[in-house]
Structure 1
Amino acid sequence: MGEGEKGMFTVVIVEDEKPILELMKVVVGRNPHCRIIGAFNNPLEALEKLPELKPDIAFLDVEMPKLSGIELAQRLNECCEGTRIVFTTAYKEYALEAFRVFAFDYILKPVMTSAIDRITTRLLKEADRTGSPGASAPPEPVLKASIHCLGSFEVRSPEGELVRWPTRKTEELFAYLLCWPDQDISKWKLMDLLWPEMNEERAIHNLHNTVYRLKKLIKEQDIGMDVVKTGDGYLLKTQDTRYDLLEFLQGISGLGHKKQAEPERLEALFALYRGPLLGHKDYMWKVQLEESCGKQYRALGCRLAERYMAQGEWSKAEQRLLSCLSFYPLEEELHLLLMEVYAAAGKRERITRHFNLFEMQYRKEMGMEVPAEISKKAKMYMEMSKISQPRQKK
């Protein structure tokens, strides 16, 4: 363990996307057994510094330009034999065989505290078995289940095993309760949501059975929550279990209308959003909350972009807007702001290329021409870019 400190691991994080890097720093920093000694968004810079840092753990993003996480792991194994490599990836299917060759473990994005706890627990147990000095001194962190609701719906046990649902209605009930945690939900509302066309007697019977299955599964999988009966309904007690949607909603609520929120906090919230609520689940009841989360995410992206524009950091502003557009490709406000970024940076050719692509996509998806107001503003931005004097930061 790093520098002889009992129960403490030195950590380096390599992640090319700045919002995710900021989130990683926050999440890893919460673990009492981790001390971050380096964080890089350029894998080549990380490669240069790693032989000197020699961390106990290196969290490496798999999908990076210039040097992939797999390639960086190969180089790292040559210079830092004692470093444990943990890959981070947004795709659970991504090169699992390659992970086994080089990695101590891998975790899915967005990275949650439960995943970091699992990694440090494994390392502490291993150190204890091998008799490393001080390895058994600290108490082991409590492993927790991991739950992802943004971009997909996935629940894993504390050991990282994917939870299998006994019925589709059990899964849907848990998904619904996760969207409205710690709230008293009427049994009549749940019956209408899950069995809208069933008679009352059968619907009540089904609800009781589904709640029973869910409570049993939560206990067996050690998810760290509980479904409790209220006067006329049910309530999901999240207790101390955290998940991306809960973090996102509470974070947004905490921001309020503060215009001077710390950029790290905004970036961490922005990185939590990995796509629409519950992914491709076609639950009709999720529509309003899904739209609200998407709206908040786009507002975060615009807020960050405007902040970076004010600082002349055009590349960062562009990246945040492109991230938003990857989920909401027809959102007009995002396209206009991106063209404004290009105009302020004096990049006329990018305005033209971007507008042409947007125009093609809009015709294809909407079956009509781009609104005249957007075409007019695009031309205005092209004219602005001719005389723009961009600042030095790129």
Structure 2
Amino acid sequence: MRVILIDDEPLALEHMKKILLDIDGLKVVGKYLNPTEGLKAIIKEQPDAVFLDIEMPTITGIKLAEEIQNHCPNIHIVFVTAYDEYAVKAFELNAVDYVMKPVHKKRLTETINRLKPLKNIHMKKRISNRSGMICCFQTLQFILRGDEPENIKVHWRTSKAKEVFAFLIHNRRKPVRKEVLIELFWPESELEKGFAQLYAAIYQIRKTLASIGFNIKIISRDHSYILDMQQIKIDVDEFEKLEVMINDGNPDLTIVQQLLDLYGGDYLEKESYLWAESERERLRVLWLYYTQQTIEMLIQKKEYTKALLICQRMQALNPYSEESYFMLMQLYDLLGERHFVEQQYSRLTDMLLEEYGTEPGSEISEWYLSWRGNKV
């Protein structure tokens, strides 16, 4: 195991190095009095862990830990300090350990024993060469895509960390100011405490992403956070490719149907985040439009069965839309299924009466009466 040490006290730094070198399987690849130089070495050497003093004159260990995670989210942090007042804050940051000075071999050996299984987990995650996708339709999910897509179970340490991550995904194309996050998620907290809670959440998010092998960087820059998605895709971005395809006039309908299938329900529907409501409505409207356009193109190609299946799915996901009932009535008519035309009109009538206290619109009712007259 490779580690780097950072402490502004020369004697403490040398003492810790001497103890660690006596522990089997451990290699100290650098020790630094200057935190900035230490950060550069961490980025270059990519150690497994960093032993980090908290109370330093130029930058606190808490802040430096955040910078380390910006560049190297898989690296584990061990805080070493003479002050126990930072213990709560350190563990809020999900540090692997918190060691009080003066350090002793027995105590550091316990720390190394905690680090070893964590290193093995990350080594296994790095082996995977499958691509990842984050899904936001219906609920927040993580999918590994290979020969067999795999839905990854994610354990979020807190629901707040999950929501902060979802908000960053929601704003993935632009930086999000830290003050905005504090005001939204910790509105009752004083500013200093709000920042501590925010840093704790970001640290938890980085650890969670690293634990499932999703290489997403949360970059801290100019008092803001911005996501570097690397090769990770978002289902919403894939879905929105439909705009170009539909406007093309003659798209590959097989691909169109695959993209439509990404919409498994409303945007973050199960999470019910209030800040997502406008995007939820926007994507719902787009999905209904793209679905209707696809059904019409399939009808033009006389592929009625395919159109029917898409329309049935449209109705299942949005049962309060008149359009789906009307389109199904027309499709069943084209397929010669008289009974199902009657059934759809009856269901539409019941739904409108129960939900809205109204009757089918004139276009639908006139079409239905004309259809019945022609069938007599």
Is the pair's TM-score, using the shorter chain for normalization, greater than 0.5?
yes
The correspondence of residues 1-394 of structure 1 with structure 2, limited to 5 A, is 142-155=129-142, 161-249=152-240, 251-255=241-245, 257-366=247-356, 368-373=357-362, 376-380=365-369, 382-383=371-372, 386=375
| Superposed displacement of residue 167, structure 1 | 0.8
**1:26-83 C-alpha deviation (Å, 9 max, x unpaired):** xxxxxxxxxxxxxxxxxxxxxxxxxxxxxxxxxxxxxxxxxxxxxxxxxxxxxxxxxx
| Superposed displacement of residue 151, structure 1 | 2.4
Secondary structure at the counterpart of residue 257 of structure 1: helix
Separation of aligned partners in 2, 1:255 and 1:186:
35
Is the CA contact (8 Å cut-off) linking 1:145 and 1:160 kept in structure 2? no
Separation of aligned partners in 2, 1:289 and 1:196:
23
**1:311-332 C-alpha deviation (Å, 9 max, x unpaired):** 2222221111111111100112
| Superposed displacement of residue 144, structure 1 | 4.3
| Superposed displacement of residue 200, structure 1 | 3.7
**1:66-110 C-alpha deviation (Å, 9 max, x unpaired):** xxxxxxxxxxxxxxxxxxxxxxxxxxxxxxxxxxxxxxxxxxxxx
Q: Could you say if the C-alpha distance between residues 263 and 348 of structure 1 is closer, same or farther in structure 2, counting changes exceeding 3 Å?
A: same
Q: Could you say if the C-alpha distance between residues 258 and 196 of structure 1 is closer, same or farther in structure 2, counting changes exceeding 3 Å?
A: farther
| Structure 1 segments unaligned to the other structure (5+ residues) | 1-139, 388-394
Separation of aligned partners in 1, 2:220 and 2:370:
58
Secondary structure at the counterpart of residue 264 of structure 2: coil
RMSD: 2.9
Secondary structure at the counterpart of residue 271 of structure 2: coil
Separation of aligned partners in 1, 2:297 and 2:204:
48
Separation of aligned partners in 2, 1:161 and 1:252:
26
Q: Could you say if the C-alpha distance between residues 242 and 349 of structure 1 is closer, same or farther in structure 2, counting changes exceeding 3 Å?
A: same
Secondary structure at the counterpart of residue 138 of structure 2: coil
Separation of aligned partners in 2, 1:147 and 1:234:
19
TM-score w.r.t. the length of structure 1 is 0.56
Which letter does structure 2 place at the counterpart of 1:216?
K
Separation of aligned partners in 2, 1:355 and 1:174:
44
| Superposed displacement of residue 293, structure 1 | 1.8
Separation of aligned partners in 1, 2:283 and 2:362:
27
| Superposed displacement of residue 174, structure 1 | 1.3
Q: Could you say if the C-alpha distance between residues 381 and 226 of structure 1 is closer, same or farther in structure 2, counting changes exceeding 3 Å?
A: farther
| Superposed displacement of residue 164, structure 1 | 0.3
Secondary structure at the counterpart of residue 142 of structure 2: strand
Is the CA contact (8 Å cut-off) linking 1:314 and 1:341 kept in structure 2? yes
TM-score w.r.t. the length of structure 2 is 0.58
Separation of aligned partners in 1, 2:243 and 2:188:
36
Separation of aligned partners in 1, 2:187 and 2:342:
50
Number of residues paired by the alignment?
A: 247
Q: Could you say if the C-alpha distance between residues 253 and 180 of structure 1 is closer, same or farther in structure 2, counting changes exceeding 3 Å?
A: farther
Separation of aligned partners in 1, 2:374 and 2:297:
20
Separation of aligned partners in 1, 2:348 and 2:252:
32
Is the CA contact (8 Å cut-off) linking 1:345 and 1:385 kept in structure 2? no
| Superposed displacement of residue 192, structure 1 | 3.3
Secondary structure at the counterpart of residue 261 of structure 2: helix
Is the CA contact (8 Å cut-off) linking 1:336 and 1:378 kept in structure 2? no
Q: Which has the larger radius of gyration?
A: 2
| Superposed displacement of residue 384, structure 1 | 7.6
Separation of aligned partners in 2, 1:314 and 1:236:
43
Deviates more, 1:327-336 or 1:150-159: 150-159
| Superposed displacement of residue 307, structure 1 | 1.2
Is the CA contact (8 Å cut-off) linking 2:141 and 2:152 kept in structure 1? no
Separation of aligned partners in 1, 2:157 and 2:341:
51
| Superposed displacement of residue 383, structure 1 | 4.0
| Superposed displacement of residue 169, structure 1 | 0.9
Secondary structure at the counterpart of residue 272 of structure 1: coil
Secondary structure at the counterpart of residue 276 of structure 1: coil
Is the CA contact (8 Å cut-off) linking 2:133 and 2:235 kept in structure 1? no
Q: Could you say if the C-alpha distance between residues 220 and 346 of structure 1 is closer, same or farther in structure 2, counting changes exceeding 3 Å?
A: closer
Is the CA contact (8 Å cut-off) linking 1:226 and 1:238 kept in structure 2? yes
Which letter does structure 2 place at the counterpart of 1:265?
I
